[in-house]
Amino acid sequence: MLLPLLAAALLSCSDQHSRSDFAAYDFGMPEPPAAGSITPLPPPPPADPAKVRLGKALYNDTRLSADDSISCATCHDLGRGGDDGRRYSIGVGGAATAVNAPTVLNSSLNLAQFWDGRALTLEAQVAETVQNPTEMGGDWSVIERRLRDDESMVEQFARVYGTRPGRDEIIDATATYLRALVTPDSPFDRYLRGDAAAIGDGARRGYETFVDLGCISCHQGRNVGGNLFQRFGVMGDYFEDRGSLVAADYGRFNVTGREQDRFRFKVPSLRNVAATAPYFHDGSAATLDEAVRAMIRYQLGRPADDEQVERLGDFLRSLSGELDESLL
């Protein structure tokens, strides 16, 4: 009775032994779920259009900086993916920022703001950025005075808030604008909603690779990231290899002071990532290709071939969405 079975087993593995011994593990085992999932971006929250317009004006207003030289848009240019394409940004008086500027697009969907998550809300983020000496170095009383001298500003604030321009209203309007900066309808989102032709073959296989290699267990959810903190250098010492450690490299440790948070950063959203080179908190990866290879080496510690890297690039490029024109 056993002989035919044995013969079959033998024929199938006479030149290459397979693991028929462990086949028992396949019996009745449920398929393991994919390690994560990506969902389409939700539409931006409803907001008063006049307030969004005011926020947009403030976002582009250099009067928010100490010497009236730069605005939010200087470092977060919506025409180039919501950042400035530099490794470190240049603030008032030529000071360089300690970390790479992340994009503002979809940032309202992140669990917290900044690489180390030190601001829990966009309001806290705006309040800090305007005053930060290496960014805008602004002084609220000076900013309020400047805006109150401007008739059209006074009129807009009166219409939206019924008050004169003030710190809290400036912050509120800017944060409202930031919340509107959502980029729905990327090719990949259309694909997720059932339009099979929205992405090409490369991107589709790139997505499979993204799941198979394990990228998805950190970069997942609606923002393809942005919902957890994770160590940079899980499977290899990134900082040792890069050298010259600075305070900003300690990441979330600088906020919580807990040892386990050393070198942990907010996992960045990969939406629109194709447009936001250079990459990482230190801007060390100049191209998407380099960034992907670093991820494979330091976060996954596993082999991967050039073709896989290329396909991952195709997939990541399909994550770029559209911003409503009225917001630009």
Q: Is residue 206 within 8 Å of 316, Cβ to Cβ?
A: yes
Token pair 């710190």: residue: 167
Identify which of 7, 231, 265 has the alpha carbon closest to the alpha carbon of residue 112: 265
Q: Which amino acid is at 296?
A: I
Residue from 81, 91, 165, 321 touching ligand HEC (CB under 6 A): that is: 91
E strand spans, the chain: 229-231, 264-266
Q: What is the footprint of ligand HEC within residues 228-257 (CB under 6 A)?
A: 230, 232, 234
Query: Given the complex with another protein, which of 101 and 171 has the nearer CB atom?
Result: 171
- Helix, strand or coil for residue 307? helix
Q: Which amino acid is at 238?
A: Y
Query: Given the complex with ligand HEC, which of 9 and 200 has the nearer CB atom?
Result: 200
Residue from 10, 196, 197, 328 touching another protein (CB under 8 A): that is: 10
Question: Does 33 contact another protein by CB under 8 A?
Answer: yes
How far are the Cα atoms of 11, 45, 155, 178, 183 from residue 49, in angstroms, in the given order? 72, 11, 16, 13, 17
Q: Does residue 184 have a cis bond before it (omega within 30 degrees)? A: no
- Helix, strand or coil for residue 42? coil
The verdict on whether 151 is a catalytic residue reads no
List the single partner that 24 binds among ligand HEC, another protein, none, CB under 5 to 8 Å by kind: another protein
Q: Residue 99 is encoded by which pair of tokens?
A: 């970390």
List the single partner that 114 binds among ligand HEC, another protein, none, CB under 5 to 8 Å by kind: ligand HEC
List the single partner that 145 binds among another protein, ligand HEC, none, CB under 5 to 8 Å by kind: none
Per-residue interface string for the shown chain with ligand HEC, residues 141-180, x marking contact by CB under 6 A = ---------------------------------x---x--
Gyration radius from the chain CA atoms: 24
- Residue 285 phi, psi dihedral angles, 5° rounding: -100, 115
Which position among 128, 135, 151, 208 bears the catalytic label? Answer: 135
Q: What is the footprint of ligand HEC within residues 268-307 (CB under 6 A)?
A: 268, 270, 273, 276, 279-281, 291-292, 295-296, 299-300
Residue 119 carries which DSSP code? B
List the single partner that 34 binds among ligand HEC, another protein, none, CB under 5 to 8 Å by kind: another protein
**In sequence order, what are the residues at sequence separation of 6 or more whose Cβ sits closer than 8 angstroms to the Cβ of residue 133?**
91, 92, 95
- Give the H/E segment covering residue 210: helix 201-213
User: Which of these ranges, 68-76, 90-98, 148-156, 228-236, lies near another protein under the rule CB under 8 A?
Assistant: 228-236
Closest approach, Cβ 6 to ligand HEC, in A, equals: 43
Closest approach, Cβ 226 to another protein, in A, equals: 9
Residues in the chain: 328
Closest approach, Cβ 252 to another protein, in A, equals: 9
Q: Residue 252 is encoded by which pair of tokens?
A: 């979330």
Residue from 74, 156, 176, 320 touching ligand HEC (CB under 6 A): that is: 74
E strand spans, 100-214: none
- Residue 90 phi, psi dihedral angles, 5° rounding: -105, 120
Q: Is residue 317 within 8 Å of 226, Cβ to Cβ?
A: no
Q: What is d(CA 34, CA 294) in angstroms, rounded to the nearest whole number? A: 23
Binding site for another protein (CB under 8 A): 1-2, 6-7, 9-10, 14, 16-22, 24-25, 27-30, 32-39, 111, 120, 214, 217-218, 220-222, 227-231, 234-235, 256, 258, 260, 264, 300-303
Point out the residues that are catalytic: 135
Binding site for ligand HEC (CB under 6 A): 64, 70, 72, 74-76, 89, 91, 97, 99, 101-102, 104, 107, 110, 113-115, 125-126, 129-130, 135-136, 174, 178, 213-215, 217-219, 230, 232, 234, 265, 267-268, 270, 273, 276, 279-281, 291-292, 295-296, 299-300, 312
